[in-house]
Amino acid sequence: MMTWTPTSGDYWILVMNADGSKVVDLDMQLGVRVTVLNWVGWGLVIGGIIAGLVGFIIVYYGAIRRR
């Protein structure tokens, strides 16, 4: 297993066999941690809840209360 702490820049990955043969078998995982997406996700959840409540109020006062 390889653990690598990258710095800013552009990167390329080259995979090859030690003997230079054509068939390459690769088992690789890549993970990225983007902390701002956590805040974006929670913002969308809260915004969706607020939009649902506003929609419910509009339907309540527009359709149910008129009777």
Looking at residues 26-52, what average pLDDT do you find? Answer: 89
For residue 51, what are the CA distances in angstroms to 26, 38, 43?
46, 20, 12
Whether 36 shows a pLDDT value over 80: the answer reads yes
State residue 62's pLDDT score. 85
The answer to whether 40 touches 31, Cβ cutoff 8 Å, is no
State pTM to two decimals: 0.49
The answer to whether 16 touches 24, Cβ cutoff 8 Å, is yes
Q: Where are the chain's structural domains?
A: 36-67
Whether 50 shows a pLDDT value over 70: the answer reads yes
Whether 22 shows a pLDDT value over 90: the answer reads no
